[in-house]
A and B are shown apart, each in its own frame.
Chain A
Amino acid sequence: MQAILRPRFVAIVLLVAAAATVSSAGRRFYDDDPIARVPERQSAANAKELDIDLFFEYAYNLFVNAERTPSNVRAGNINTIDEVPDSSWFINRIGTTPMTAAQVARGVNSDTPPAPEKWTLLREKSAGTNPGFTARDANGQTWFLQFDAPEFPEGSTGDVEVSTKLYYALGFNQVETFVTTFDPARVEIDPKATVKRPNGKRTPFTQDDIRRVLERSARNADGTYRASAGRLLPGKVIGSFRYQGTRSDDPNDLVPHENRRELRSLRVFGAWTDLVDLKAGNTLDTLVDENGRAIVKHYLQDVGSSLGMANNLHEWDMGWEYYYDGPATKKRLLTFGFALSPWQTVPYVEYPSIGLFEGDEFDPTTWKPQTPVLAYMEMRPDDAFWAARKVMAFTDDLIRAAVHTGQYSNPAAEAHLASVLIKRRDKIGQAYLPAINPIVNPVLRDGGRLTFENAAVAPGFAEAPRSYRAEWFTFDNATGATRSIGHTDSATPAMTAPSLPSGVGTYIEVDLSADSPTHASWAKPVKTYFRLTSGGWKLVGLERLP
């Protein structure tokens, strides 16, 4: 936020934008394009802990960000083929490499779940609404334990498990979490354990402090408690990350977070999973050693405010409205509440372990988190398209595999959750894939055979277009100059190129469009660039929405 508001920063950005406009010369593609991983070579060892104030963030989001007109600036961390390279923020997984159900179900988890035979309590749980502790298991590992609220048995713990698996597969850094058991009869209090009291002082942890937490937790019939255990992250925690600006003490943090595609895409991923509590406080930056350098690793640390579990029993508006929503406020004020909002009538099939989560009335384009972070506001159609493809990469079986990790005792609840996620997935695909030119995966083979796919037609979200067209150009990588070498048309996503240049190292540009009676936006071409290598034509560039 700070960086965005500084006049000097704004001036520099404008200056640079002007410079970019007048510049026409310069190498467009490097030999290592498209990069698969962002090099993060500088040490961030001097990065210090940063506290981000929750109230300020909420107010800023609700009353500043919500009023912004999106900049329509293209994502800043994409490579030359419109993809997000791996980094300390994001690792390409589903949609890039095939994932099995077992891989999705395993997520980030190792083979060493907590040993619940004995818990030693270290301190209270300081964040989040669900009751819990920080505790050491029988193996001496430190975990953050979180219980279910009495009215939602299995709800929060199941949600954390499922959501963690989904977000890990989507590519985000996640915390290892396991469903475990907490038996009050097998609990010790560490002699040094303390609790922060209302007077601001820390005093020794007592048995009553345990009771205080357990009274607010769902209890099993045998007197134990089901808990979600999150493993202590490696490295040094240096606070949270903002959804805008960059960390001024992290040399590798170059792209304003609101321009990071994976963060913008949380508008789609969040809609899918109903991750309503988008805020800095649910993220975590840690300093970790990588090849002898300290780099900042960024975690989407708490994705548990999702799948209907952020809502208490009487919060139907989550996912539908911001905490403060100006237009909805005016509407209800002027009509004494008679202008109903969708959340007031949408039917829910409620299970205590699932909560308010449905897929029939869900509209991903109108979904809202509690407060609009800037990355959410800045999402463009090409970001949404990229994100929707990630979501669509989850097959029904993969979704069921993730949901099964929630260990719900009621098979009907588990099936319901999976079915809602499947419905919401399809609505996301339907909303975002046909919205812009959906041509993907262009491949130019020896002999000039060009093939590609239509991401909207293949899953059945749109009718096949009447025809596809490819405009072919030579492309001068040094100057950017192009020369037409013809065009080809086809009723199918495959065609043969006209005569192409043959020298290794030469570039061509192929502009791919489609003639669809129902989707005029498909006429805007996807610009693709190929370089001839000794192994054939290699895709080095793709611009869906420049």
Chain B
Amino acid sequence: MLVAVTLGFASPAIVRAQDAQTASEPASRAALIEQEEQTKADQLKPAEPGKAEAYVSRISDAFLSGQMHWHAFWQNAYSGGGFTVGAGYLTHVSSYNLIDIRGSITPSGYKRLEAQFFAPELFARHGTLSLLGGWREATAVNFFGIGQATHTSSLTNYGFTQPYFAANLTVMPTRQLFVLGGGFEVSQWKQGAGSSDASPSIETAYTPATLPGLGASPVYYHSQGTVAIDSRTSPGYTRRGGYYGVTAHDYTDKDGAFGFDQVDYTAIQHIPLLREAWVLAFRAYAQTTYIKTGQQEPFFMMPSFSGGSDLRAYASWRLRDLNSLLLQGEWRAEVNRFLEMALFYDAGKVAHDRSNLDLHGMKDDYGIGFRFHGAISTPLRIELAKGNEGFVLNFSASQVF
């Protein structure tokens, strides 16, 4: 009987009948099939997913139900910290609002520990609010000197710790396109010696007289406002649209020694070609600083290039000065829905005077990159960049721009 029944699973009915006769001979085709159904009825088992599917299902259910509390956290304390491991615990405190407590550490001792309250649906889903408090430590931040003409041989390093509390409100009056942002932060930067073995600590090469802010611990009241037009599908991954924005910062030093203002200008445009087979992506980013009368801007607050997402073939924080200009272009090719590759070119310049922010004497690089992405995020970006100071292989958990 078993043979006849199972043969019915895998063979056409016309063949199935040939063997049926050797069992108790049914009188008709219908009777034969009913016999098979009866046999199966005697052997019924619950319909359940296999072990692998059940495991995947538990994970996906946890994600979709909002009950996946623990998550990875790849963001390090400060650029240049190297490979980062971290974790966070996220929980909703109401239907939509959540709290995320997270921390990360790097082999070089960069640490970050913070808690964030995030309300994603303020003002009838026109706004978001973030309250962020934490502490971070960077142990070996590169410092090559100030200005465009510094050399790699002048590398020193420094460290800092920083407790911070920040509130940021973002409003999109039309839910798309127009973005208004405002924020206020209180923090204290405690700059100290660097711990890297690869270069001398900064205080061995500079004094407070030769390097503004060396050894300083200013408490900043940092307020900022942003006006922007954002037509990207997502800041984390997009193949079309652009972002054009201006952010004005006011850094008020509680002691009146290191106060300054800063304005950031950002222009990003993605131009899809041939149904997004390729995307030409461009970014121009400028930072300008206005030192408050009688005060200084500490070296560690100056505009700079942090490395992995700007001048990608150069060491992190390779250039610093009061003003900066970054120009980037990418030619991205879609490989599939989850992978794109890119050829890129970066050029950057810092200058003491805004009038010197031109295209002359820029440091530049080029390279190739691969990005594993989803619809709205880029979990992994791998890039090999070549500049006149050598090759750099970058790994990142975010989109370049």
Contacts and interface: CB of A to CB of B under 8 A. Distances in A.
A76 B336 contact: no
A337 B7 contact: no
Interface residues of B, number: 73
Interface in B9-34: 9-15, 17-22, 25-30, 32-34
Given A30-B17, A42-B40, A337-B334, A248 B45 contact: yes
A429 interface: no
Interface in A252-276: 252-256, 259
B216 interface: no
A333 B276 contact: no
A198 interface: yes
Interface string A339-375: 0100111000000000000000000000000000000
Contacts of B14: 28, 78-80, 541, 543
Contacts of A221: none
B17 A28 contact: yes
Contacts of B57: 51, 53, 56
Contact of B37 (A13, A215, A252, A541): A252
Interface stretch (B91-99, B254-262, B355-363, B393-401): B91-99
A124 B335 CA distance: 36
B3 interface: yes
Given A13-B6, A31-B28, A259-B10, A333 B335 contact: yes
Which secondary structure dominates where chain B touches chain A? mixed
A251 B13 contact: no
Contact of A1 (B53, B124, B337, B341): B53
A105 to B, nearest CB: 34
Contacts of A79: 13-14, 29
Interface stretch (A19-27, A137-145, A452-460): A19-27
Which secondary structure dominates where chain A touches chain B? loop
A543 B239 CA distance: 52
Given A78-B12, A256-B10, A480-B18, A251 B44 contact: yes
Interface in B268-294: 272, 274-278
A504 interface: no
A249 B10 contact: no
A32 B12 contact: no
Interface stretch (B59-67, B142-150, B218-226): B59-67
Interface stretch (A33-41, A165-173, A388-396): A33-41
Contacts, number: 231
Interface centre among B11, B28, B46, B47 (most CB of A within 10 A): B47
A169 B44 CA distance: 33
Contact of A247 (B5, B26, B47, B94): B47
Contacts of B333: 332, 336-337
Contacts of A46: 44
A502 interface: no
Contacts of B7: 16, 19-20
Interface string A70-81: 000111111110
Nearest to A343: B275
A314 interface: yes
B336 A42 contact: no
B19 A249 contact: no
B8 interface: yes
Contacts of A30: 17, 26-29, 32
Contact of B56 (A48, A55, A250, A317): A55
Contacts of B343: 336
Contacts of B337: 317, 323-324
B50 interface: yes
B34 A41 contact: yes
Interface in A46-62: 46-48, 50-56, 59-60
Given A48-B47, A53-B49, A212-B125, A256 B37 contact: no
A308 B336 CA distance: 20
A208 interface: yes
A197 B278 CA distance: 38
A329 interface: yes
A25 to B, nearest CB: 7
A33 B65 CA distance: 52
B52 interface: yes
Given A25-B21, A38-B33, A53 B60 contact: yes
A96 to B, nearest CB: 17
22 contacts: A13-B9, A13-B10, A16-B3, A19-B3, A20-B7, A24-B18, A26-B19, A42-B40, A51-B49, A51-B57, A53-B49, A78-B12, A199-B96, A247-B47, A250-B44, A254-B40, A259-B9, A316-B276, A324-B336, A332-B335, A337-B341, A344-B275
Interface of A: 1-2, 5, 12-13, 15-17, 19-20, 23-33, 35, 38-43, 46-48, 50-56, 59-60, 73-80, 197-201, 203, 208, 211-212, 215, 246-256, 259, 314, 316-317, 321, 323-325, 328-329, 332-333, 336-337, 340, 343-345, 480, 541, 543
Listed from nearest, the 7 A-B pairs whose CB atoms lie closest are A199-B92, A337-B333, A251-B41, A197-B95, A26-B21, A53-B57, A26-B18
Given A20-B11, A248-B47, A344-B274, 13 more contacts: A1-B53, A30-B27, A51-B49, A74-B12, A76-B11, A79-B14, A249-B46, A254-B8, A254-B33, A254-B37, A325-B336, A345-B274, A541-B14
